[in-house]
Amino acid sequence: MDKILGEQNFSNSDRANSNSAAKIGKILGVDALVVGSITQFGNDNKDTKVGGGGGGWGGFGVGGFSHKKSKAVVVVDARLVNIDTAEIMGVATGKGESSRESTSLLGGGGNWHGWGGGAVDFGSSDFQQTIIGEAVNAAVTQMTEELVADNSKLEARTISVEGLVAAVDGGQVVLNVGSKAGLKVGDQLTVQRVTKEIKDPSTGQVIRRMTSPVGVIRLTDVDEISAVGTPVSGSGFKVGDAVKTITQ
């Protein structure tokens, strides 16, 4: 996908645009594309401290108390895009929160008669990554559930592809159409030969082509503008034979 996007010069911002997403979806040959964005991502930390006291004769000092609350909030949204019309078929949003609270004894110091106490470190990177991770997981889970609920809006795309035999090399049949037209490896195409053209007697234009079946081929290799297939049935394939398939 990165290679295709690079070749088509799609930027990161283009990927979230429904019109660009529709073009990307056609290139990839998918039925629909899910695009979205992170609309909120961060931490909200609050720290309340109460000062301590000290004494001389006993030789110790007592630190204060700290009540700390750390909360991570993540919000994501997603849109289900129809790649034929760029229509947004479904919308999903997920919000996740994770928080911790702690009351701890702040550090105190003393002489050889006294003691000291340490505070709980809510600001460590490991701790912040933990609650952010929990919030992300909750947000994505909720968003996914809403997307799945919209699955009935998805429809498999039916594509009719027509082309011509461009070359016949041994047991391989080369076509003049490829992935840009919607073909993929494994597709089967009927091969027909035009036996007669019917023309309008008043205009001379061809109004119908009479054909006879030649056989069926299965595609083994596909690029953007061509495809290679091997015979499933029939023989005697020739350059100019018409090929057709209806694929999903």
pLDDT per position as a tens digit, 214-247: 999 999 999 989 999 999 999 999 999 999 986 6
* Number of helices (H), then strands (E), in the chain: 4, 11
- pLDDT average, residue stretch 9-32: 71
pLDDT (0 to 100) of residue 57: 38
Confidence tier at 4 by pLDDT (50, 70, 90): low
E strand or H helix that includes residue 23: helix 18-28
Give the Cα separation of 130 and 53 in Å (integer).
Answer: 34
Task: Name the residue with higher pLDDT: 60 or 65.
Answer: 65
Q: Please give the pLDDT value at position 59.
A: 44
Q: 9 — phi, psi (to 5°)?
A: 60, 40
Instruction: Give yes or no: residues 124 and 144 share one domain.
Output: yes
Domain carrying residue 97:
36-79+90-153
Q: Is residue 221 part of a domain?
A: yes
pLDDT at residue 117 above 70? no
pLDDT, mean of residues 190-210: 91
Residues 141 and 67 placed together within one structural domain of the fold: yes
User: Of 153, 168, 186, which residue sits at a domain end?
Assistant: 153
Q: Among 99, 131, 153, give the residue marking a domain's end.
A: 153
Q: How far apart are CA 4 and CA 2, in angstroms?
A: 5
The string of pLDDT tens digits covering residues 152-192 is: 887 777 778 899 999 999 889 999 999 888 888 999 999 99
Average pLDDT, the chain: 78
Domain count, the chain: 2
Query: Residue 66: inside a domain, yes or no?
Result: yes
**Bridge partner residues of 246 (DSSP):** 160
